[in-house]
Amino acid sequence: MRRANPAAFSMHTIAAGRPAARHHIAISRWAVTAFAVAAFVLVPIATIALIAIADTGTLWSHVLVHVLPQSAWNTLVLLTGTGIVAVAVGTGAAWLVSAYDFRGRGVVEWALLLPLAVPTYIMAYAYLDILSPLGPLQGAIRWVLGFDSPRDFRLPDIRSMWAAVLIFGSVLYPYVYLTARVMFVSQSANLLEAARTLGVGRAQLFWRVALPLARPAIAVGAALALMEVLNDVGAAQFLGIRTLTASVYTTWVVRADLAGAAQIAVSMLVFVMALVLLERLARRNQRYASSAQRPRPMPPQRLRGWREAIALGLGVLPVVVGFVGPATYLVISAAKRLDFAGLSPALLRATLNTVSVSALATLVVLLAGFAVAYAARLQPGRATGLAARVATLGYAVPGTVLAIGILIPVAAFDRSVDGFMRSSFGWSTGLLLLGSGGALVYAYAARFLAISVGGIESGLSRLPLSYDQAARTLGQGPGGTLVHVHLPLTRTALTAAGLLVFVDCMKELPATLLLRPLNFESLATLLYGEAVRGTYEDAAIAALLIVAIGILPVILLARTGRLSRD
C-alpha cells in the first residue's frame, strides 16, 4: 500500500481552513480504534499462553504422556499427506490450464475452484455414506460381480488415514491451484523462450523454470490448505482420526476438562507457528522481476487428438472427486428427504440462526476491518502497521484454540457483570455473552478479520492519495472524505470481503460447536449432530444449503480471475 506523507496531510488541512490539531485528533481516533481491535484479537491468544505457563499440577504430564503423542503423530501424518496431495493436484492443475489449450479448458479453469464450496466435514460426511458397505458404490460393484451380501465383497474401510488424506487433499487443493495459476499466467514468455533456446525441452520447462519461479506462491497456497486441516474437527471425527483438534474438542466437551483442552491447544499453536515458519522459509530469498513493464504472457500450447482428451480428463477428475460426487449425493439425498418428510422445523430454525449470526458477525468484521485498514491509510507507520498485523493473527489460529481463549475471559466478564447486577440491583444477567451468542460473534470476528482487513486494504491501496488531498482542498475533513470518496470507491472491495466473511462464518464448525448458546443449532452443527448419530439422510438438506451458499465466493473468485487475466 502506498505510504502517505503526514506533512502533506497537515498542509492540505490548513489549506482547507481547518486547524492541523483537529486533523491529528481525528487520525488518532482511527488509530486508537485499530489498536482496540488488535487487542481484542490478541486477548484469546494471550489467554492460551497464560494457561500454558500456569501450574496445573499433574495434568500436563498426563496430557504429554497419554494424549499428545498419538494426536500429534496423526496430525503430522495428516498434514504431510494432505500437503503432498494438495500441492501435486493444485500445481498440476494450474500448469495444465496455463500451459495447454484444449477444448473445455475455459470451463475446467473455473470448475477447478468448485471444491472450495464443500467444507471438509461435508466431504467426509458424503463419502462416508457413498462408500459405506451399504452405500450405492459398493452396492453397484456387488451387483456387477454377482454378490448379494456385504460379507461376500467389501472395499477397505473409509475410516482410515489414507481416506482422510485423499478427502482433505481433494477439497483443499484449490488453495494451491489459485496461487500457482496466478504465478504461471503472469510468468513472462521471454523467460520461457530463453530457456528453450538454451536447450530446455518442453517437458523440462515446467520442472526447471516454471516450478522454481512459482515456488513462493505454491508455499503460500500449501500453508493456507494445511491451516484448514488444523482447523477441522468434523471430518477427522467422522473418519476416526484422533488429531489435536479432535482431542481438544473431546477433552473439553466429553471429558469436561477445559484445562486439559487448553494444554492441547497450546501444542496446536506450535504446529501453526511451524507452518508459518516453513512458508516463510520457502519464500526466503525468492524474488523475481521482469524487465518489461507489461511482460508478454506465456502462450498455451494447443493439444489435439488423444492428448486433448487426456488433458480434459485430468482437469475434470479433481472436480468430479472434490465437488460433483458429493454434490450429486447431497442433491439426491435432500430430494428423498424432502419428499418423505418435508422441511423440519429444526432445519428452519438452524437456517435462521446461521444467517442471523453470520450476518451480524460479518457486519462486525467489516466495521473492525475498515477501522484497521483506514487507520493504516490515514496514519501510516509502525504502530498502525503492527496493529494491522496483530488484527490478522486470528486467521492462523484454529477455531478450537480461539474458542478456548475466548471462553475464559468472556466467562469471567459474564460472572463480573452478573455479580455486580446482583449486588447493586438484585437481579441476575446470567450468561450475558455466552448465552446470547456474543461470544460466538467474537470468535467469528477474531478468526475472519484477516479477510476483511486484507480485502479493504487492497481496495484502499488502489485510490491515489491525490483523491484525499483534493477532497481536503474542497473543504472535506476526514469524515467527509470517508463518506464521499473512500466508501463509494471501495464498495466493490467491501462487498467481496463481506461475502467471503459471511460464507466462512456460515461454514465454521469448531468455534460454533464450542461457543454456541444452549439450544442453538446452526446448519453446520445440525449436520454434525446428525452425522454423529448416523442419520445421514436428515443432514443432507443442511449440507446442501451450506454447499449452495458456499458456491458464491467461488463464483466471485472465478470472475476475479477472468477479469485479472483480461
Q: What is the pTM of this model?
A: 0.80
Q: Decide if 122 is inside a domain.
A: no
pLDDT of residue 555: 79
Q: Decide if 553 is inside a domain.
A: no
Q: Provide mean pLDDT across the span 302-322.
A: 90
Q: How confident is the model at residue 18 (pLDDT cuts 50, 70, 90)?
A: very low
Total of domains in the chain: 1
Q: How confident is the model at residue 25 (pLDDT cuts 50, 70, 90)?
A: very low
pLDDT of residue 83: 92
Q: What is the pLDDT of residues 435-457, one digit of tens each?
A: 888 899 999 999 998 888 888 88
Residue 217 to residues 78, 116, 178, 183, 214: CA-CA distances in angstroms?
22, 18, 9, 7, 5
Residue 450 to residues 5, 128, 370, 422: CA-CA distances in angstroms?
26, 33, 11, 39
Cell of 545: 444449503
Q: Decide if 71 is inside a domain.
A: no
Residue spans of beta strands (DSSP E) within 276-411:
301-302
Q: How confident is the model at residue 474 (pLDDT cuts 50, 70, 90)?
A: confident
Q: What is the pLDDT of residues 188-238, one digit of tens each?
A: 555 666 666 666 666 677 777 777 777 888 888 888 888 888 888 888 888
- Domain extent, residue 391, equals 1-55+343-533
In whole angstroms, give the CA distance from residue 519 to residue 533: 17
DSSP 480-493: HHIIIIIHHHTHHH
Q: How confident is the model at residue 365 (pLDDT cuts 50, 70, 90)?
A: very high
Q: What is the pLDDT of residues 39-75, one digit of tens each?
A: 999 998 888 878 777 666 666 677 777 778 888 898 8
Determine phi and psi for 157, rounding to 5 degrees: -65, 130
Q: Decide if 311 is inside a domain.
A: no
342 by Cβ neighbours in 10 Å (0-12 / 13-18 / 19+) ranks as exposed
Q: Does pLDDT of 534 surpass 80?
A: no
Q: Provide mean pLDDT across the span 532-541.
A: 74
- Give the CATH number of the domain where residue 414 resides: 1.10.3720.10
Q: Cβ distance 67 to 236 under 8 Å?
A: no
Residues 6+ apart with CB under 8 A from 336: 537, 540
Q: Decide if 69 is inside a domain.
A: no
Q: How confident is the model at residue 81 (pLDDT cuts 50, 70, 90)?
A: very high
Residue 39 to residues 36, 80, 269: CA-CA distances in angstroms?
5, 33, 19
Q: Decide if 320 is inside a domain.
A: no
Mean pLDDT of the chain: 80
In whole angstroms, give the CA distance from residue 251 to residue 470: 58
Cell of 532: 454423529
Share of the chain above pLDDT 70, in %: 83
Least confident range from 83-87, 427-431, 519-523, 543-547: namely 427-431
Calculate the CA 117 to chain-centre distance: 11
308 by Cβ neighbours in 10 Å (0-12 / 13-18 / 19+) ranks as middle
Share of the chain above pLDDT 90, in %: 14
Number of C-alpha atoms within 13 angstroms, CB side, residue 468? Answer: 26
Q: Decide if 410 is inside a domain.
A: yes
Q: Does pLDDT of 168 surpass 90?
A: yes
Cell of 530: 446428525
Q: Decide if 198 is inside a domain.
A: no
76 by Cβ neighbours in 10 Å (0-12 / 13-18 / 19+) ranks as middle
